[in-house]
Amino acid sequence: MFSFREATWPRSTTCMSNDFARCVTLAVCGVIAAPLIPAMAQESDSPGGAITPERPSIEFNRWKEDWSVLADPALRTEPLDDLKYIPFSSSEPKSYMSLGAGLRERFESNDAPSFGVGKQRSEQYVIERAEIDVDIHPNAHWQIFTQLQDDRAFGKQFVTPVDADKFDLEQAFIAYQGSLGGGTLKMRFGRQEIGFDLQRFVSERDGPNVRQAFDAAWVDWEQGPWRLITFWSHPVEDVDVHPFDDYSSPHFQYGGFRVERRDVGPGAVSVYVSRYELDDSKFLFATGYERRDIVDARYAGARDDFDWDLEAMGQGGIVGPKRVSAWALGALNGYTFRDTQWLPRVGLQMDAASGTRRPESTTLGTFNPLFPNGYYVTLSGYTGDTNLLHFKPSITISPVHGLKVMGAVGLLWRETTADAIYLQPDIPIQGTAGRGGRWTAVYGQLRADCVFNAHLTGALEINHYAIGETIRHAGGHDSDYLGLELKFQW
C-alpha cells in the first residue's frame, strides 16, 4: 500500500552515471513501480541527537542534526564545515553553533485542482522553497533553533496560502533535554513543526510549498520502550502580503496527550487524545465554532519481509449547532522480495473517511483531516481524506542504488453520496453533494525519487485521473499532473 511522503533513503547511496537523466529514463521507460513509502520523520528525538562516530546526515527536521561530531577534525571533509560547526568552547564539543540552508524547486503542470469545475483551468508554474537555519547549542542540555523560509509561486494563477509565503519565520524555539525520574525529559517552547507517525492527520505538510508550523509548548518523557507526550498549540496561519506577517491566535488551537510503546510484538503502539478548536469553521452542512474531541490509535511494525501500518481515528464534539460523529481508517501494508533483484515491494493501501449521511439531521459526519501531509494519496491534491473510500495496490522497485521507482493504481469512491466529493485537504467539489453515485475516479501514479549525493535529491511524479460521471456532470474532466523537483540541502 502506498502513501507518498518525503523520501528518506540512506544518504551514502547515489545514482549511477547520468544521475537524474537516468532516473527519469528508468521511470518513463515503463518501469512500473509502486507507491513508495518514504519513512516520514516522526516527532521525536532529542534537540541535537546522539553523538555518532560518523559524519551526520541531513535530517528531514533540521533541528535534529548533531554537528558536534565535527569537533573531530578528521570528519571535516567538506569546504564549508567551518560553518557547520562553530565551537563556543575548545573543551566542550556540545557547545557550538551550526548554520544550514535548503532550496527546493518544483515545476508543476496541473489540469486544475477541481478537475476543471468552476473557474479552475490548466496551468504550469514553478514553486520555490528557500530556507536558512541557525542552530545554537550553549551546552549539552539546551538548544536555540531558528529557521527562516521564503516560499514563492512563479506563474501560478490561483495562489493559495500553502503556495506562497514571503520571507517569514518557519521555526523559532528553545529546547531542553535532561534526566528526570530515571528517564529523559525533552521540552520545546516556541514556533515548531509537529508530525505524528505517517503524518496522515498531523504533519509538517511537506508536500505543498509552505510547511505547517505551530506556536506550541511540547513536553515528552521517555524511559525504555515508553514515551509520554503532552502539547498545546496555536497553528500558524500563513499570510503572503509582507515579510514576517504569519500569525497564530487563540481562535485556532490544537493539543493533547499521547502514549507510545515500542516492542509490542513485532511492532509499536501509539494512542493519543487531542482537541481541535476553531472559532469560525465552515463545512457544507454546518458552520460556527468547531470543537473536535479526537481519539487516535495506531499499530505499526515489520516481521520478516512483511510491513504494516494501521491507524484509526474517531472524532466527536460540535460544529455550530450540530454534534460531530466522524471517523477515519488507514492501512498501509506490504511485502518485500529481499532475495530478488531490484528489491520489489508489493503494497496495498486502504483508506476510509466518513461523510455526512443526513444533511438535515443534527449530526455532522464530515471528517476533518486536521493537518494532512500533502503526499498521502498523490502529490496532485485531487483527493482529500474526507468522505472517502480508497483502494490502492502498488509495486516499488530500486533499479540502482539511490533510486526508487513507484507505480500504482488507485480506486476512489465516496463513503456516502449525501456528502460531496472532496479535494485536498477538505475542499468540496461544487455540484457533487447529494448528486450522482459513489464512484469517484480511478487514477494511475508513477513516481521516481533519486538521491544524487548527501545534499541533492530529485523527484518526478506523474498522475492521471479518469473521473466518474458525478464529477463530469458537475462540469469536470479527466485531469493530469506532472511534477519535477530538485532539492538541495546543506
Per the CB < 8 A criterion, the answer to whether 440 and 467 are in contact is: yes
pLDDT of residue 120: 74
Bridge partners for 219 per DSSP: 187, 230
- The predicted model scores a pTM of 0.87
pLDDT of residue 55: 86
Residue burial 256-285, b: 16+ Cβ < 10 Å; e: rest: bebebeeeeeebbbbebebebbbeebebbb
Alpha helices in 175-299 (DSSP H): none
Number of domains composing the chain: 1
Tell me if 2 is assigned to some domain: no
Q: How many CB atoms lie within 10 A of CB 340?
A: 10
Tell me if 1 is assigned to some domain: no
Tell me if 12 is assigned to some domain: no
- The Cα 403–Cα 401 span in angstroms is 6
Q: How many CB atoms lie within 10 A of CB 240?
A: 18
Q: Which domain holds residue 304?
A: 19-489
pLDDT of residue 21: 39
What is the Cβ-side half-sphere exposure of residue 235, based on CA atoms within 13 angstroms?
Answer: 22
Cell 509548548 -> residue: 217
Indicate which CATH number applies to the domain containing 485. Answer: 2.40.160.100
**pLDDT tens, position by position, for the chain (490 residues)?**
333 333 333 333 333 334 433 443 343 333 333 333 333 334 444 444 444 458 889 999 999 999 999 999 989 999 999 999 999 998 899 999 999 999 999 999 998 878 989 877 889 999 999 999 999 999 999 999 999 999 999 999 889 999 999 999 999 999 999 999 999 999 999 999 999 999 999 999 999 999 999 999 999 999 999 999 999 999 999 999 999 999 999 999 999 999 999 999 999 999 999 999 999 999 999 999 999 999 999 999 999 999 999 999 999 999 999 999 999 999 999 999 999 999 999 999 999 999 999 999 999 999 999 999 988 899 999 999 999 999 999 999 999 999 999 999 999 999 999 999 999 999 999 999 999 999 999 999 999 999 999 999 999 999 999 999 999 999 999 999 999 999 999 9
pLDDT of residue 113: 79
The burial class, CB within 10 Å (0-12 / 13-18 / 19+), for 52 is exposed
Cα separation of the two ends of the chain = 32
Decide the pairing of beta strands 306-319 and 322-336: antiparallel
Tell me if 260 is assigned to some domain: yes
Tell me if 183 is assigned to some domain: yes
Tell me if 89 is assigned to some domain: yes
| Nearest residue to 153 (alpha-carbon basis) of 126, 131, 122 | 126
pLDDT of residue 90: 86
